[in-house]
Structure 1
Protein backbone atom coordinates (compact mmCIF):
# COMPACT_ATOMS: atom_id res chain seq x y z
CA UNK A 1 0.00 0.00 0.00
CA UNK A 2 2.76 2.45 0.96
CA UNK A 3 4.68 1.56 -2.21
CA UNK A 4 1.59 2.26 -4.32
CA UNK A 5 1.06 5.63 -2.62
CA UNK A 6 4.68 6.60 -3.20
CA UNK A 7 4.44 5.53 -6.85
CA UNK A 8 1.31 7.65 -7.34
CA UNK A 9 3.03 10.65 -5.77
CA UNK A 10 6.16 10.27 -7.88
CA UNK A 11 4.55 9.45 -11.20
CA UNK A 12 1.43 11.58 -10.69
CA UNK A 13 3.39 14.72 -9.87
CA UNK A 14 5.88 14.05 -12.63
CA UNK A 15 3.25 13.75 -15.33
CA UNK A 16 1.48 16.91 -14.14
CA UNK A 17 4.72 18.88 -14.37
CA UNK A 18 5.38 17.58 -17.87
CA UNK A 19 1.87 18.55 -18.97
CA UNK A 20 2.23 22.07 -17.58
CA UNK A 21 5.62 22.55 -19.21
CA UNK A 22 4.49 21.05 -22.52
CA UNK A 23 3.19 24.48 -23.53
CA UNK A 24 6.80 25.67 -23.62
CA UNK A 25 7.79 22.91 -26.04
CA UNK A 26 7.63 25.02 -29.19
CA UNK A 27 9.97 26.49 -31.76
CA UNK A 28 9.44 29.81 -33.51
CA UNK A 29 11.35 32.52 -35.30
CA UNK A 30 11.97 36.04 -34.09
CA UNK A 31 11.05 39.04 -36.20
CA UNK A 32 14.66 39.19 -37.36
CA UNK A 33 14.70 35.51 -38.38
CA UNK A 34 16.56 33.97 -35.44
CA UNK A 35 15.35 30.65 -34.03
CA UNK A 36 13.61 30.74 -30.65
CA UNK A 37 12.86 27.83 -28.34
CA UNK A 38 9.99 28.11 -25.89
CA UNK A 39 11.87 25.69 -23.64
CA UNK A 40 14.38 28.49 -22.98
CA UNK A 41 11.71 30.06 -20.73
CA UNK A 42 11.41 26.99 -18.52
CA UNK A 43 12.26 27.52 -14.86
CA UNK A 44 12.24 31.31 -14.92
CA UNK A 45 9.62 34.03 -14.72
CA UNK A 46 8.45 35.10 -18.16
CA UNK A 47 5.60 36.79 -19.97
CA UNK A 48 4.38 36.14 -23.47
CA UNK A 49 2.48 39.15 -24.80
CA UNK A 50 0.19 38.27 -27.73
CA UNK A 51 -0.59 41.10 -30.13
CA UNK A 52 -1.59 41.97 -33.69
CA UNK A 53 -0.36 45.10 -35.48
CA UNK A 54 -3.84 46.30 -36.49
CA UNK A 55 -5.30 45.89 -32.97
CA UNK A 56 -6.11 49.30 -31.38
CA UNK A 57 -5.75 47.94 -27.83
CA UNK A 58 -2.36 46.45 -28.71
CA UNK A 59 -1.25 49.79 -30.17
CA UNK A 60 -2.38 51.56 -27.01
CA UNK A 61 -0.80 49.02 -24.63
CA UNK A 62 2.52 48.50 -26.43
CA UNK A 63 4.39 51.49 -24.90
CA UNK A 64 3.26 50.41 -21.43
CA UNK A 65 4.36 46.82 -22.07
CA UNK A 66 7.76 48.11 -23.25
CA UNK A 67 8.05 50.22 -20.10
CA UNK A 68 7.12 47.27 -17.86
CA UNK A 69 9.70 45.07 -19.61
CA UNK A 70 12.39 47.69 -18.96
CA UNK A 71 11.38 48.07 -15.30
CA UNK A 72 10.94 44.37 -14.46
CA UNK A 73 14.31 43.03 -15.55
CA UNK A 74 13.94 39.76 -13.60
CA UNK A 75 11.08 38.77 -15.93
CA UNK A 76 11.77 37.67 -19.50
CA UNK A 77 9.37 39.34 -21.95
CA UNK A 78 8.57 37.79 -25.32
CA UNK A 79 6.13 39.38 -27.73
CA UNK A 80 4.13 37.09 -30.00
CA UNK A 81 2.89 38.99 -33.04
CA UNK A 82 0.42 37.29 -35.38
CA UNK A 83 -2.48 37.76 -37.78
CA UNK A 84 -0.54 39.81 -40.31
CA UNK A 85 2.45 39.87 -42.65
CA UNK A 86 6.02 39.85 -41.37
CA UNK A 87 6.70 43.42 -42.56
CA UNK A 88 3.63 44.68 -40.65
CA UNK A 89 4.78 42.85 -37.49
CA UNK A 90 8.24 44.40 -37.76
CA UNK A 91 6.84 47.90 -38.36
CA UNK A 92 4.59 47.59 -35.28
CA UNK A 93 7.46 46.44 -33.03
CA UNK A 94 9.66 49.33 -34.15
CA UNK A 95 6.93 51.99 -34.06
CA UNK A 96 5.72 51.11 -30.56
CA UNK A 97 9.11 50.34 -28.98
CA UNK A 98 8.53 46.68 -28.21
CA UNK A 99 11.54 45.69 -30.29
CA UNK A 100 13.73 46.10 -27.18
CA UNK A 101 12.76 42.56 -26.11
CA UNK A 102 12.37 39.35 -28.11
CA UNK A 103 9.50 39.45 -30.60
CA UNK A 104 8.27 36.31 -32.33
CA UNK A 105 6.81 36.24 -35.83
CA UNK A 106 3.89 33.86 -35.26
CA UNK A 107 2.42 34.36 -38.73
CA UNK A 108 0.60 31.01 -38.65
CA UNK A 109 -0.62 31.62 -35.04
CA UNK A 110 0.84 28.28 -33.88
CA UNK A 111 2.14 29.76 -30.61
CA UNK A 112 -1.20 31.50 -30.07
CA UNK A 113 -2.96 28.14 -30.49
CA UNK A 114 -0.55 26.40 -28.10
CA UNK A 115 -1.60 28.82 -25.35
CA UNK A 116 -5.30 28.89 -26.31
CA UNK A 117 -5.19 32.55 -27.34
CA UNK A 118 -8.00 33.47 -29.73
CA UNK A 119 -8.02 37.27 -29.38
CA UNK A 120 -5.63 40.02 -28.53
CA UNK A 121 -4.10 41.43 -26.54
CA UNK A 122 -3.39 38.52 -24.22
CA UNK A 123 -0.70 37.58 -21.75
CA UNK A 124 0.72 34.22 -20.68
CA UNK A 125 2.38 34.57 -17.28
CA UNK A 126 4.92 31.76 -16.91
CA UNK A 127 5.88 30.99 -13.33
CA UNK A 128 9.29 29.51 -12.48
CA UNK A 129 7.55 26.34 -11.23
CA UNK A 130 6.02 25.76 -14.69
CA UNK A 131 2.52 27.09 -14.07
CA UNK A 132 1.14 29.13 -16.94
CA UNK A 133 -1.68 31.62 -16.49
CA UNK A 134 -3.25 33.09 -19.64
CA UNK A 135 -5.12 36.38 -19.33
CA UNK A 136 -7.01 37.75 -22.32
CA UNK A 137 -7.60 41.45 -22.75
CA UNK A 138 -5.89 44.68 -21.95
CA UNK A 139 -4.45 45.02 -18.44
CA UNK A 140 -4.14 48.30 -16.56
CA UNK A 141 -0.52 49.17 -15.77
CA UNK A 142 -0.97 48.62 -12.01
CA UNK A 143 -2.44 45.15 -12.61
CA UNK A 144 0.35 44.16 -15.00
CA UNK A 145 2.95 45.41 -12.52
CA UNK A 146 1.31 43.44 -9.70
CA UNK A 147 1.33 40.25 -11.78
CA UNK A 148 4.98 40.76 -12.72
CA UNK A 149 5.94 41.24 -9.08
CA UNK A 150 4.07 38.03 -8.21
CA UNK A 151 6.14 36.13 -10.79
CA UNK A 152 9.37 37.09 -9.02
CA UNK A 153 8.07 37.20 -5.47
CA UNK A 154 9.12 40.84 -5.09
Structure 2
Protein backbone atom coordinates (compact mmCIF):
# COMPACT_ATOMS: atom_id res chain seq x y z
CA UNK A 1 0.00 0.00 0.00
CA UNK A 2 1.37 3.39 -0.92
CA UNK A 3 2.02 6.01 1.72
CA UNK A 4 -0.64 8.23 0.20
CA UNK A 5 -3.24 5.46 0.40
CA UNK A 6 -2.20 4.61 3.98
CA UNK A 7 -2.66 8.24 5.06
CA UNK A 8 -6.09 8.29 3.46
CA UNK A 9 -7.13 5.12 5.31
CA UNK A 10 -5.93 6.60 8.63
CA UNK A 11 -7.81 9.84 7.98
CA UNK A 12 -11.07 7.98 7.26
CA UNK A 13 -10.70 5.90 10.43
CA UNK A 14 -9.96 9.00 12.54
CA UNK A 15 -13.01 10.93 11.22
CA UNK A 16 -16.33 9.77 12.76
CA UNK A 17 -19.04 8.99 10.27
CA UNK A 18 -22.11 11.17 10.18
CA UNK A 19 -24.21 8.36 11.66
CA UNK A 20 -21.77 8.03 14.59
CA UNK A 21 -21.88 11.81 15.13
CA UNK A 22 -25.68 11.81 15.00
CA UNK A 23 -25.80 8.95 17.49
CA UNK A 24 -23.45 10.83 19.80
CA UNK A 25 -25.65 13.96 19.57
CA UNK A 26 -28.76 11.95 20.37
CA UNK A 27 -27.01 10.44 23.38
CA UNK A 28 -26.08 13.91 24.68
CA UNK A 29 -29.65 15.18 24.23
CA UNK A 30 -31.05 12.13 26.04
CA UNK A 31 -28.57 12.57 28.89
CA UNK A 32 -29.51 16.26 29.17
CA UNK A 33 -33.19 15.37 29.32
CA UNK A 34 -32.55 12.89 32.14
CA UNK A 35 -30.66 15.55 34.12
CA UNK A 36 -33.47 18.11 33.66
CA UNK A 37 -36.11 15.55 34.70
CA UNK A 38 -34.07 14.69 37.80
CA UNK A 39 -33.76 18.36 38.78
CA UNK A 40 -37.49 18.98 38.31
CA UNK A 41 -38.30 15.87 40.34
CA UNK A 42 -35.96 16.96 43.11
CA UNK A 43 -37.63 20.38 43.19
CA UNK A 44 -41.08 18.81 43.49
CA UNK A 45 -39.90 16.53 46.32
CA UNK A 46 -38.21 19.41 48.10
CA UNK A 47 -41.38 21.51 48.13
CA UNK A 48 -43.78 18.67 48.94
CA UNK A 49 -45.48 18.93 52.36
CA UNK A 50 -43.83 22.24 53.18
CA UNK A 51 -47.29 23.81 53.55
CA UNK A 52 -48.52 27.26 52.56
CA UNK A 53 -46.23 30.27 52.60
CA UNK A 54 -46.25 32.25 55.83
CA UNK A 55 -46.32 35.97 56.59
CA UNK A 56 -42.90 37.53 57.05
CA UNK A 57 -42.40 40.81 58.89
CA UNK A 58 -40.96 43.51 56.63
CA UNK A 59 -38.29 45.73 58.15
CA UNK A 60 -36.76 47.68 55.27
CA UNK A 61 -39.93 48.69 53.42
CA UNK A 62 -42.07 49.44 56.48
CA UNK A 63 -41.21 53.15 56.48
CA UNK A 64 -42.04 53.61 52.79
CA UNK A 65 -45.56 54.64 51.91
CA UNK A 66 -46.88 52.74 48.92
CA UNK A 67 -48.59 54.88 46.30
CA UNK A 68 -49.74 53.07 43.17
CA UNK A 69 -52.54 53.51 40.69
CA UNK A 70 -53.71 52.14 37.38
CA UNK A 71 -56.66 50.68 35.52
CA UNK A 72 -58.72 47.65 36.48
CA UNK A 73 -58.34 44.96 33.75
CA UNK A 74 -61.91 43.79 34.35
CA UNK A 75 -63.97 46.98 34.71
CA UNK A 76 -61.61 49.45 33.01
CA UNK A 77 -62.07 51.81 35.97
CA UNK A 78 -59.18 53.76 37.50
CA UNK A 79 -57.86 52.32 40.79
CA UNK A 80 -55.65 54.23 43.22
CA UNK A 81 -54.44 53.48 46.73
CA UNK A 82 -55.06 57.16 47.52
CA UNK A 83 -58.81 56.42 47.29
CA UNK A 84 -58.47 54.20 50.38
CA UNK A 85 -56.67 56.64 52.67
CA UNK A 86 -56.90 55.61 56.32
CA UNK A 87 -57.89 52.05 55.45
CA UNK A 88 -55.65 48.97 55.67
CA UNK A 89 -54.89 47.53 52.24
CA UNK A 90 -53.96 44.03 51.10
CA UNK A 91 -52.09 43.97 47.76
CA UNK A 92 -52.09 40.58 46.06
CA UNK A 93 -49.76 40.29 43.04
CA UNK A 94 -51.10 37.59 40.73
CA UNK A 95 -51.45 36.39 37.14
CA UNK A 96 -53.89 34.02 35.47
CA UNK A 97 -51.00 31.79 34.30
CA UNK A 98 -49.51 31.42 37.81
CA UNK A 99 -50.18 27.99 39.45
CA UNK A 100 -49.68 29.37 42.97
CA UNK A 101 -52.16 32.16 42.28
CA UNK A 102 -54.74 29.55 41.31
CA UNK A 103 -53.95 27.51 44.42
CA UNK A 104 -54.73 30.40 46.78
CA UNK A 105 -57.54 32.05 44.76
CA UNK A 106 -60.50 30.54 46.64
CA UNK A 107 -58.97 31.29 50.05
CA UNK A 108 -58.31 34.87 48.95
CA UNK A 109 -61.94 35.20 47.84
CA UNK A 110 -63.08 33.94 51.28
CA UNK A 111 -60.68 36.33 53.03
CA UNK A 112 -62.01 39.31 51.04
CA UNK A 113 -65.62 38.39 51.92
CA UNK A 114 -64.76 38.13 55.63
CA UNK A 115 -62.99 41.51 55.80
CA UNK A 116 -65.00 44.36 54.27
CA UNK A 117 -63.13 46.73 56.62
CA UNK A 118 -59.97 46.09 54.60
CA UNK A 119 -59.44 46.97 50.95
CA UNK A 120 -57.97 44.14 48.90
CA UNK A 121 -56.48 45.12 45.56
CA UNK A 122 -54.92 42.75 43.06
CA UNK A 123 -51.99 43.61 40.82
CA UNK A 124 -52.42 41.59 37.63
CA UNK A 125 -48.84 41.19 36.43
CA UNK A 126 -47.70 40.28 32.89
CA UNK A 127 -51.14 39.05 31.87
CA UNK A 128 -53.82 39.78 29.28
CA UNK A 129 -57.15 41.39 30.06
CA UNK A 130 -59.00 38.44 28.52
CA UNK A 131 -57.17 35.89 30.69
CA UNK A 132 -57.64 38.10 33.75
CA UNK A 133 -61.39 38.19 33.10
CA UNK A 134 -61.52 34.41 32.81
CA UNK A 135 -59.63 34.06 36.11
CA UNK A 136 -62.09 36.39 37.88
CA UNK A 137 -65.06 34.43 36.56
CA UNK A 138 -63.54 31.06 37.44
CA UNK A 139 -62.77 31.97 41.05
CA UNK A 140 -65.61 34.41 41.74
CA UNK A 141 -63.35 37.33 42.59
CA UNK A 142 -65.00 40.72 43.13
CA UNK A 143 -62.18 42.92 44.48
CA UNK A 144 -60.49 45.35 42.06
CA UNK A 145 -57.11 44.80 40.43
CA UNK A 146 -54.60 47.08 38.76
CA UNK A 147 -53.42 45.94 35.33
CA UNK A 148 -49.61 45.65 35.21
CA UNK A 149 -48.82 44.16 31.79
CA UNK A 150 -45.09 44.98 31.85
CA UNK A 151 -44.55 44.17 35.54
CA UNK A 152 -43.32 47.66 36.42
CA UNK A 153 -45.76 48.19 39.31
CA UNK A 154 -44.93 44.81 40.85
CA UNK A 155 -41.21 45.53 40.38
CA UNK A 156 -41.57 48.83 42.25
CA UNK A 157 -42.78 46.79 45.24
CA UNK A 158 -39.67 44.59 45.13
CA UNK A 159 -41.53 41.52 43.89
CA UNK A 160 -39.64 38.29 44.54
CA UNK A 161 -42.09 35.79 43.06
CA UNK A 162 -45.71 35.02 42.28
CA UNK A 163 -47.99 35.15 44.06
CA UNK A 164 -46.93 37.74 46.64
CA UNK A 165 -49.25 39.43 49.10
CA UNK A 166 -48.35 42.70 50.82
CA UNK A 167 -50.21 43.84 53.95
CA UNK A 168 -50.31 47.61 54.36
CA UNK A 169 -51.27 49.50 57.51
CA UNK A 170 -53.69 52.45 57.52
CA UNK A 171 -50.88 54.74 56.38
CA UNK A 172 -50.20 52.38 53.45
CA UNK A 173 -46.79 51.25 54.66
CA UNK A 174 -45.89 47.61 54.05
CA UNK A 175 -45.89 45.84 57.42
CA UNK A 176 -45.69 42.22 56.34
CA UNK A 177 -45.67 40.12 53.19
CA UNK A 178 -46.18 36.57 52.00
CA UNK A 179 -44.07 35.35 49.09
CA UNK A 180 -45.68 32.28 47.54
CA UNK A 181 -49.12 30.73 47.71
CA UNK A 182 -50.80 30.77 51.11
CA UNK A 183 -54.15 29.81 52.59
CA UNK A 184 -56.90 31.54 54.57
CA UNK A 185 -54.92 31.26 57.83
CA UNK A 186 -51.91 32.88 56.16
CA UNK A 187 -54.00 35.81 54.90
CA UNK A 188 -55.53 36.24 58.38
CA UNK A 189 -52.11 36.22 60.06
CA UNK A 190 -50.78 38.81 57.61
CA UNK A 191 -53.77 41.06 58.24
CA UNK A 192 -53.34 40.84 62.00
CA UNK A 193 -49.73 41.96 61.65
CA UNK A 194 -50.83 44.91 59.49
CA UNK A 195 -53.53 45.95 61.96
CA UNK A 196 -51.10 45.70 64.87
CA UNK A 197 -48.70 47.97 63.00
CA UNK A 198 -51.38 50.55 62.20
TM-score using structure 2 length: 0.61
> Mapping of 1:68-83 within 5 angstroms?
68-83=111-126
TM-superposition CA deviations, 1:17-41 (whole Å, max 9, x none):
xx612x21x3200022111112223
How far did 1:141 drift?
A: 2.0
Give secondary structure in 2 for the equivalent of 1:20.
coil
Question: Structure 1 runs of 4+ off > 4 angstroms?
Answer: none
Q: Which moved more, 1:62-71 or 1:140-149?
A: 140-149
Decide which structure has the larger Cα Rg and report it.
2
Q: 1:106 pairs with 139, 144, 148, which one? A: 148
Alignment correspondent of 1:122: 164
Instruction: Please report how far the alpha carbon of residue 71 of structure 1 lies from its aligned counterpart in structure 2 after TM superposition.
Output: 0.4
Gaps spanning 5+ residues in structure 1: where? 1-18
Once superposed, what is the RMSD of the aligned Cα atoms?
A: 1.7
- Give the corresponding residue for 1:33: 76
Residue 151, structure 1, aligned to residue 197, structure 2: no
Distance 2:138 2:157 in 1: 26
Q: CA deviation at 1:152?
A: 3.6
Partners in 1 of 2:191 and 2:109 — Cα distance? Answer: 13
Q: Is the 8 A contact 2:110 2:184 kept in 1?
A: no
